[in-house]
Amino acid sequence: MSVTYDECAGAGADDTMDSFWEVGNYKRAVKRFDDGHRLCNDLMGCLQERAKIEKAYGDQLTGWSKRWRQLIEKGPQYGSVERAWLGVMTEAEKVSELHQEVKNGLMNEDVEKVKNWQKEAYHKQMIGGFKEAKEADEGFKKAQKPWAKKLKEMEAAKKTYHLACKEEKMAATREAHGKTEASVTTDQQKKLHEKVDKCKHDTQKAKEKYEKSLDELGKCTPQYMESMEQVFDQCQQHEVKRLAFLKEALLDIKRHLNLTENQSYATVYRELERTILGANTQEDLKWFSNNHGPEMHMNWPAFEEYNPDAANAPPKKKKPDGAPPTPSTDHVAPPGDRSSVSSYDKNQAYSTEWSDDEQPAGNLDNENGGNGNSFEDDSSAGKGVPAGVLAAVPAGVPVAAPAGVRVRALYDYDGQEQDELTFQAGDELTKTEDEDDQGWCRGRLDTGKEGLYPANYVEPI
């Protein structure tokens, strides 16, 4: 400390009222120990809240990625652009993992580090408070006690001197009034003069005592300042450790939070960019043409001899690997069986119907029930239904049988789609709709599940 007694004494009263050197004002330095311990708790609470935010963000990214990955995979997008889109979901999953790592770093490293340092730096006492604060308080009290005693003596001497000055002034005033008043006798004036002399003597004596006590206080002050500075320096040394630790801890926190310094983070976006740049428009168009366009294989109609074995074979569902369902497998499902992506049916059928009439492709499914070819005979639909009723039903729409018919399975069948039934040979079920033009019936198992099944897999009971 470079503060001198002369500088301290030369300062105005207003400047020193709240000075460290005033008796008892050292307690702010002692309180810093309590504040330091509380600030450690605050920092740990701050990090715990941030860790919760990181975890919640990571969980939200994971949930978002999972949901949209399913929607994209079941949606109409295809090929390399689909892979590029899914790359965004992969980015979210990897970034989620990185934010989980941030959470783990904050909780397992930073919070634990602060907790351990706090435990080593602050030692609680059985009676409350901290050992370091108590030692500092006792050190300041010991250093201040001699000077505080001298200060108290000086304050008393100053008060006595000021009262003596007041008495002297009052005595001089009374003497002056006595000289001007005729009613005051000579003896009275003499007594007033003697009073003034006595007050002057008392004032001089009080002044000498005040000056002496002030001089003694001044001689005691350098030692007082030195002792106080020694205790204060000890407090500063502890505070230096706390501030240095806090700076180091904050740098560790920054390292955990700053994902731009994490090589894995940069790798995520390099991979995402590579995936997006890998999207090839021409390859995607070629794939679509091969799987859903003119490049597809077609079994053009040709003359076929009657084959009794083929007549008993179950219908085969044609579905190229990785392609959306063809019209022959686009069953009419109850509402809620298909979810959607951006208003698209995830299993939306792309109709292969065609006719000479020019009309939007979207209307083909409505007019032909989304099944079969518009040139095929619809006579198989609506068996057992009066002609007048059948005439009012649009072509290609399955017509419900007059009542449920009990049938028995001839073969095992494992449903290939969500809207198909699975059963074993010998199982009994209820047919609720007659065979459509694709060879499928709708029925209900005894468990209550409804769905489609091959018509020639069962026989009436």
**pLDDT at position 272:** 94
8 A C-beta contact, residue 60 and residue 52: no
Encode pLDDT of 341-375 as tens digits.
Answer: 443 444 443 343 434 444 444 443 444 444 444 33
Tell me which residue has tokens 């605050």: 42
Mean pLDDT of residues grouped by 10 in the chain (461 residues)? 45 61 93 95 97 97 96 94 96 96 96 96 91 94 93 95 94 84 82 89 93 93 94 94 95 93 91 94 93 89 82 50 40 37 41 42 41 39 40 46 80 90 94 90 92 93 91
pLDDT at 325: 38
Q: How far apart are CA 239 and CA 230, in angstroms?
A: 14
Looking at residue 180, its pLDDT comes to: 80
**pTM of the predicted model, to two decimals?**
0.57
- DSSP for 227-265 reads HHHHHHHHHHHHHHHHHHHHHHHHHHHHHHH-GGG-HHH
Q: Pull the structure tokens for residue 26.
A: 């050292």
For residue 262, what are the CA distances in angstroms to 254, 277, 328, 331? 12, 23, 52, 50
Task: Give the pLDDT confidence score for residue 206 in this predicted structure.
Answer: 94
pLDDT score recorded for residue 364 = 37
- Residue 100: its pLDDT value, please? 95
Residues 6+ apart with CB under 8 A from 261: 255
Per-residue model confidence (pLDDT) at position 17:
60
Give the sheet arrangement for strand 458-460, strand by strand.
450-454, 440-445, 428-433, 400-409, 458-460
* Three-state secondary structure call for residue 421: coil
pLDDT for position 313:
55
For position 278, what pLDDT does the model report? Answer: 93
Output the average pLDDT for the chain. Answer: 81
Q: Backbone phi, then psi, for 454, in 5-degree steps? A: -65, 130
Tell me if 36 sits within 8 A of 242, measured CB to CB: yes
Q: If we measure between CA atoms, which residue out of 312, 272, 326 comes closest to residue 454?
A: 312
